[in-house]
Structure 1
Amino acid sequence: RASVAILAQAPRPSAPLAGPPFRSTFRFAGSSGMSVTEADVAKHNTESDCWCVVGDEVYDVTNFMADHPGGKKAIMLFAGKDATEEFDMLHDRKVIKKYGLDAGTVKHMGKLSK
């Protein structure tokens, strides 16, 4: 009760703070709202840092390579590149969520900007 009384007696500002409210437009890696360029994807082309594009979605598949049934070599062929055509010939896109995103070994980095 004493703390309620102290808060009630606390001084209040006489005028609202100037300026518009702060709004951040920054999106963290892994958020689906991030826009990623082809040049950004191309920088991630090693076994220790591997991104691929499937459709218009960009994924960090670095931690998935060891679990890929076709081996990491199959993924490395498309490191830093668009893997859509090859991926769609061999897989249903639902496997990305089921075996990668849900398992935590694949991270969605955002949409590919065109």
Structure 2
Amino acid sequence: MFYDLYCELCKAKGITPTRAATEMGLSKSTPTAWKKKGITPQAAQLQKIADYFHVSVDYLCGNEEKPISEDAELNEYLEMLRTRPEMKMMFQLAKGATKEDVEKAVRVIEAMFGKDTKGD
């Protein structure tokens, strides 16, 4: 059932079904309607949900076994970009950076925290 899968995705993300719905621009009562009526959302809502959780629409419909991205580290970085304004700002500033620019920035950050990854 769609609602059960939706709840699993919410749990994995550490949020409530209601909060996920509101963050996607859906009403608070939408997940309750899915649960009570046992329905699967229409295509537009499914795509919005798939984008939010970084899975495919086919996965949401039960046609695929696994989500698109199983890379936990990548998902963690994406979540930081989504929820932490300072990380988003840093990423936006680095958009047009060259490889050398990024390497310099990494050295500055390492120096700030007293770390040196060259030996790793």
TM-score relative to the length of structure 1: 0.29
Instruction: Give the structure with the higher percent helix.
Output: 2
Instruction: Give the structure with the higher percent strand.
Output: 1
Specify the structure having the higher radius of gyration (Cα).
1
